[in-house]
A and B are shown apart, each in its own frame.
Chain A
Amino acid sequence: MSENRRGVLDPQWEDELRAGQDADGGQGSVDAELAVVHLLRHAAGPEALDAEGVDAVWSDVATQIESESGFTPWWRRVLDWRVGVGVAVAVAAAAVLVLAPGDDTPPPGETSGPIASGPGAAGMSVTLQAQFDMLAPQARSAIDARVDEGRGAVRTQLLASLGSGADATLGGAP
């Protein structure tokens, strides 16, 4: 009963595990179990661990898991030369996603891509059409913004021209 009340944070666990290992003639390893105990102690224990301590616990757990099961975490498996290629592809894909606005569907009746170019056309025109489909919406927005700026300038000019004669007609009086 008293054993049940004893939490996993009790440092006596470690002593008992070590003692059990010694009783078996030093055979086997209790390091994996101890790593889990350390982790639980960190997660729930009142004692705060500094950054180095946390790293040490995780490193301990990872090492023990690897040594026991032969399992290597995915993030360690991918950290080789292939990660560079993967990152490059991801960046390129992200660039396309960032540059491609939401609605880049060509207007009805106007086709793009392979259909637009016909069966005999080379890939260059297809590629360029795809680039256009990707770049055009943003360019249209930019031109719309310029037209809006122009609208504001015209409005300002009109108000200025009205203002110059407004003193005489303000209030509707001639």
Chain B
Amino acid sequence: MSRRLGQLGTLAAGMVLGAAGMFVGLAQADRIAPSRPDVLVALGQRLDVEHRAVDLQLEKGDIAAAIESLEALRSGPWPSPADATGAAVALKHDAYGRLVRLRLDHPEVDPVPTDALLKMVDEGLGEDEVDANPFTARLWALRGELYETEGLDDEALEAYEKALEINATLLERELGGAP
């Protein structure tokens, strides 16, 4: 009897561990439904509109206005991944990456020192864990570029390697046909 109970206990423990593993896997793959889908929808729609506005400003050649719009986006608010999944983090990294890229490409417009741009990148990267995505990789690459500008080669290399690692994961996923 006690042996049977022990077997049942082992089975139950296995089931719990398996379910936990599956949950962690789904969470890492960002396939858990958001607890607040409305937050993700609101964020997605707001960013869509803002990015289109930036597109139009850039088409008109108004770099300053585009930077201003992206700076306004940067000030948030940004929802937590708990509310809106890792997609929200990826969207944030996209906006920050676009802003930093634009500032690097047009240093003559509203000049910002390199260390301030580095802080901007770090602020964008934050502490949130996020599934591999090209927007996070771009922020790491920009970090490397900024360190390189500062002559900090070791830090630049480290950031570049991080970006390459993310992109390698993405390419493997694409070539492997994983979702």
A residues neighboring B (CB under 8 Å) = 95, 98-99, 107-111, 116-117, 121-122, 124-125, 128-129, 131-132, 135-136, 138-140, 143-144, 146-147, 149-151, 153-154, 157
Max count, chain A CB within 10 A of own CB: residue among B54, B94, B105:
B105
Provided the pairs A99-B174, A135-B134, A139-B133 are in contact, do residues A125 and B58 lie with their beta carbons within 8 angstroms?
A: no
Closest 9 CB pairs of A and B: A109-B58, A147-B44, A150-B37, A128-B141, A135-B134, A153-B37, A150-B40, A150-B41, A108-B58
What is the predominant secondary structure among interface residues of chain B facing chain A? helix
A41 to chain B, nearest CB (A): 47
Provided the pairs A150-B37, A150-B41 are in contact, do residues A128 and B55 lie with their beta carbons within 8 angstroms?
A: no
Partner of B90, one of A98, A122, A143, A151: A143
B21 to chain A, nearest CB (A): 23
B101 touches A124 (CB 8 A): no
B148 close to chain A: CB less than 8 A: yes
**B39's closest neighbor in chain A, by CB?**
A150
Which residues of B are found within 8 Å of A147, using beta-carbon distances? 40-41, 44-45, 87
> Cα distance A121–B58 when bound, in Å?
24
> Cα distance A139–B131 when bound, in Å?
11
> Cα distance A116–B37 when bound, in Å?
36
Which residues of A are found within 8 Å of B34, using beta-carbon distances? 150, 153
A146 touches B141 (CB 8 A): no
Which residues of A are found within 8 Å of B160, using beta-carbon distances? 124-125, 128
**A95's closest neighbor in chain B, by CB?**
B175
B41 touches A108 (CB 8 A): no
A150 touches B58 (CB 8 A): no
Partner of A99, one of B61, B87, B91, B171: B171
B148 touches A121 (CB 8 A): yes
Max count, chain B CB within 10 A of own CB: residue among A95, A111, A131, A136:
A131
B41 touches A109 (CB 8 A): no
B residues neighboring A (CB under 8 Å) = 30, 33-34, 37-38, 40-41, 44-45, 54-55, 57-59, 61, 63, 66, 85, 87, 90-91, 94, 98, 101-102, 104-106, 133-135, 137-138, 141, 144-145, 148, 160, 163-164, 167, 170-171, 174-175
B93 to chain A, nearest CB (A): 10
Provided the pairs A110-B105, A125-B148 are in contact, do residues A151 and B41 lie with their beta carbons within 8 angstroms?
A: yes
Which residues of B are found within 8 Å of A107, using beta-carbon distances? 54-55, 58
> Cα distance A136–B174 when bound, in Å?
13
B148 touches A128 (CB 8 A): no
**B85's closest neighbor in chain A, by CB?**
A146
A128 touches B98 (CB 8 A): no
A154 touches B105 (CB 8 A): no
Which residues of B are found within 8 Å of A154, using beta-carbon distances? 37-38, 41
